[in-house]
């Protein structure tokens, strides 16, 4: 009886371990992985560089956009702590004329031969442990349209006034094979 009971407990433990191992991998199976980067020149002439890995959902919306679920990487050597919530504006990212916040949506789409932008005008936004935040977006409202990085710095004045900055950057993201 003791042998049978020990064997049953071992089988249950092995089954639990197998389920846990499968569950831990489900986030990866349910997500797409992308490498991303952007670069530009800061207001002081120093380079702006950011890069890392994004996790998105697997199913694009009807317009081909994937919701970004996680971000890992760095901006100018400072580790990114996480996404800033979609639907909210990073501190200071406010149109000083209208007072309207510029909210991010954390959406991404694949690049294509036609050069369709991978970010929209709301863009991808993230936080850094030094208390700063960045929103990289495609400024379709400019002529010519370009990617921009709005970088907000305490005490977070309204708009692109020092110490905040809003500067052109190049952006790319590439989906990685499963």
Res 110: pLDDT: 95
Res 1: pLDDT: 52
Domain positions in the chain: 30-175
Point out which residues pair with 66 in neighbouring strands. 108
Core vs surface per residue 58-96: b (16+ CB within 10 A) or e: eebeeeebbebeebebebeeeebeebbeeeebbbbbbee
Assigned token pair, 62: 């009807």
What is the rounded average pLDDT for all residues in the chain? 87
148-152: average pLDDT: 98
pLDDT digits (tens, 9 = 90+) for 131-147: 999 999 999 999 999 99
What is the full DSSP assignment across 56-117? EESS--TTSPEEEEEEEEEETTEEP-EEPPTTSPPTT-B-TTT--B-----EE----TT---
Please tell me whether the peptide bond between 74 and the residue prior to it is cis, using omega within 30 degrees of 0.
no
pLDDT greater than 80 at residue 4: no
pLDDT digits (tens, 9 = 90+) for 50-96: 999 999 999 999 999 999 999 999 999 999 999 999 999 999 999 87
Q: Residue 100, Cα to own-chain centre: how many angstroms?
A: 22
Per-residue pLDDT band at 17 (split at 50, 70, 90): very low
The structure's pTM equals 0.82
* Under 8 Å between Cβ of 50 and 75: yes
């Amino acid at each position: 009886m003791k042998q049978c009971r020990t064997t049953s407990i071992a089988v249950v433990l092995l089954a639990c371990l197998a389920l846990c191992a499968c569950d831990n991998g489900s986030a990866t199976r349910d997500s797409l992985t992308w490498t991303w980067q952007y670069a530009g020149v800061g207001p002081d002439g120093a380079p702006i560089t950011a890069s890392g890995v994004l996790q998105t959902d697997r199913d694009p919306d009807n317009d081909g956009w994937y919701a970004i679920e996680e971000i890992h990487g760095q901006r100018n050597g400072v580790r990114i702590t996480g996404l800033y919530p979609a639907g909210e504006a990073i501190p200071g990212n406010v149109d000083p004329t209208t007072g309207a916040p510029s909210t991010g949506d954390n959406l991404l789409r694949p690049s294509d031969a036609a050069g369709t932008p991978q970010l929209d005008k709301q863009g991808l936004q993230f936080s850094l442990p030094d208390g700063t935040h960045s929103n990289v977006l495609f400024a379709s409202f400019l002529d010519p349209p370009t990617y921009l990085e709005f970088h907000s710095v305490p005490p977070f004045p309204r708009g692109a006034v020092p110490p905040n900055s809003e500067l052109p950057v190049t952006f790319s993201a590439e989906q990685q094979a499963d």
